[in-house]
Amino acid sequence: MTTESDTQPITYEELLAAVQPSAGGREILDPATGELVGRAPQHILEDLESTVAAARAAQPGWAALGHEQRSAYMNRAADAFEANAEALAVLLSREQGKPLNGPNARFEVSACAAWLRATAGFELEPEVLVDDEGGRAELHYRPLGVVGAIGPWNWPMMIGVWQLAPALRMGNTVVMKPSSSTPLSVLALVHVLNTALPEGVLHAVSGDRTVGNRLVEHPDVAKIMFTGSTDAGKAIIRNSADTVKRLTMELGGNDAGIVLPDADPQAIAQDLFWGAFINTGQTCAALKRLYVHEDIYEDVVTALTETAKAMPMGIGLDENNVLGPLQNKAQYDVVANLVQAAKDSGARIVLGGNPEQDQPGYFYPTTLVADIDNNNPLVAEEQFGPALPIVRYSSVDEAIGMANGLEVGLGASVWSSDKDKAREVAARIVAGTVWINKHGAVDPRVPFGGAKQSGYGLEFGVEGLKHLGQPQVITY
């Protein structure tokens, strides 16, 4: 049990010291400047084994507390997170690269606390399936045991909370494996939450792929939650097969947006921009290919260009910036190569596409590409960065066919002044979520999951809780 004094803020330096090893470790560099942020521990297989054992030992006691007491602990953990919000945001900005302001580092930290509170408040009561003269049947959800959570580098804290919050709420214990690109953020997340949680229920192991593979195949881990690429997800599915693990897989997306001819270009430009460029485009459910009707094509391109020009990009700790660098060199190269392929094809570079070669950091300028073929690699492959292709279409059927033409279906959006017409189009798109006049607006109360090769399983809301429990029918 924590007291009010337990939630007093610590400094950034104290937070960083708490998650670094006393000696050694792997250097973590700021993607905006190349400067040293800190050193991450290099846990090995023996560390993972002892961590899983500790999580397994703590799980029965945590489950026995019941939903009400577990929710109370989660709310206190949210208090601790809010008390340390600024130090957490600075670390996140330096390690991941995202600016403090805009829908970025401070936004992410705030969302973590909000998500913890929302998840703590969900009620999951037994469902009465049958109740008649023949008997009664009830559906209950029991804890699974130990949950392994493997997170990405783009939203390391927030997606970490998306994984750990419902797992803890349902009475499971959690072992987190952060991305090797952003381990300090997740270690800090766990450190702060553990000032309010009982010992042993939440752990983090920062290791290489060998550690991750062992977590996936470990016989004492009941479920894996994974957010990342489709290729990595397929490997996890294969490696988990021998233990028949439960899986929630939130995999790659290449989200389409369809702008209908009745849309108002000026009215939607700001929301289109942030739908595509939130976190500098490094978001699974960001708008990554935009289909615009020929009647308003140039007006949309112009309005979006004007909006994009007003969004400053630079070092995250500069309070003026709202766009940052790519988090790592590999992702920078992906974006640069795809934009170059668009240039080589003769597509029109409306904005950006001309990175400075002599500046530090992995900055790629905000880039809009018009008059591009739907089969161009910038459209057909997930760029995961600040480059948006804008494709012209003539008929709604053509736009829907192009939107559904890939083997991914995480999210999509329809933009129109007529919501009834937009809903008709949305119903024909194969995606886990289709937004109308917005994109990527997730809500802790609303289930979220992918279609096709964007994964399976649901997160968020009461339905998300169910995916962290073992269904059990009791009939009498």
For 40-76, how does the pLDDT look when each residue is reduced to its tens digit (9 = 90+)? 999 999 999 999 999 999 999 999 999 999 999 999 9
150-203 tens-digit pLDDT: 999 999 999 999 999 999 999 999 999 999 999 999 999 999 999 999 999 999
Q: Which of 370, 388, 353 is nearest to 301 (CA)?
A: 370
Question: What's residue 445's pLDDT?
Answer: 97
Our answer to whether residue 13 is catalytic in this structure is no
Our answer to whether residue 306 is catalytic in this structure is no
Positive or negative, the CA dihedral 409, 415, 383, 149 is negative
Question: What's residue 21's pLDDT?
Answer: 95
Region 209-216: mean pLDDT is: 97
Same fold, 4-251+454-475 and 255-443: no
In the set 284, 294, 306, 398, the catalytic residue is 284
406-430 tens-digit pLDDT: 999 999 999 999 999 999 999 999 9
- Please indicate whether residue 305 or residue 360 has the higher confidence score (pLDDT): 305
Q: What token pair was written down for 235?
A: 């490997």
- Helices 45-64 and 209-217, axial angle in degrees (round to 10): 40
CATH H-level, domain 4-251+454-475: superfamily: Aldehyde Dehydrogenase; Chain A, domain 1 (3.40.605.10)
80 pLDDT higher than 90 = yes
pLDDT band at 357 (very low <50, low <70, confident <90, very high): confident
What are the domain boundaries of the chain? 4-251+454-475, 255-443
90 pLDDT higher than 70 = yes
Question: What's residue 2's pLDDT?
Answer: 43
Report residue 44 CA to chain centroid gap: 26
Region 375-387: mean pLDDT is: 98
pTM of the predicted structure, to 2 decimals: 0.95
What is the C-alpha separation between 407 and 431, in angstroms, rounded? Answer: 10
- Please indicate whether residue 312 or residue 357 has the higher confidence score (pLDDT): 312
Question: What's residue 1's pLDDT?
Answer: 42
Quote the mean pLDDT of the chain: 96
In the set 95, 217, 250, 382, the catalytic residue is 250
The CA-CA-CA angle for residues 145, 149, 153, to 5°, reads 170
What is the C-alpha separation between 115 and 103, in angstroms, rounded? Answer: 16
What is the C-alpha separation between 115 and 122, in angstroms, rounded? Answer: 11
Q: Lowest-pLDDT range, 115-124, 315-324, 353-362, 374-383?
A: 353-362
224 pLDDT higher than 90 = yes
- Please indicate whether residue 5 or residue 360 has the higher confidence score (pLDDT): 360
- 251 and 233 Cβ atoms separated by less than 8 Å: yes
| Paired strand residues for 393 | 293
pLDDT band at 267 (very low <50, low <70, confident <90, very high): very high
Please report how many Cα atoms fall inside a 13 Å half-sphere around the Cα of residue 292, on the Cβ side: 28
What is the C-alpha separation between 64 and 110, in angstroms, rounded? Answer: 30
Pairing verdict, β 135-143 and 469-475? antiparallel
The residue written with tokens 């017409």 in the block is 421
4 pLDDT higher than 50 = no
What is the C-alpha separation between 51 and 206, in angstroms, rounded? Answer: 11
What is the C-alpha separation between 426 and 109, in angstroms, rounded? Answer: 32
What is the C-alpha separation between 326 and 331, in angstroms, rounded? Answer: 6
Q: Which of 145, 110, 141, 144 is nearest to 123 (CA)?
A: 141
321 pLDDT higher than 50 = yes
Question: What's residue 6's pLDDT?
Answer: 53
146 pLDDT higher than 50 = yes
pLDDT band at 356 (very low <50, low <70, confident <90, very high): confident
3 pLDDT higher than 90 = no
The CATH number of 255-443 is 3.40.309.10
**Cα distances (angstroms) measured from residue 388 to each of 269, 282, 287, 385, 436:** 13, 12, 8, 8, 19
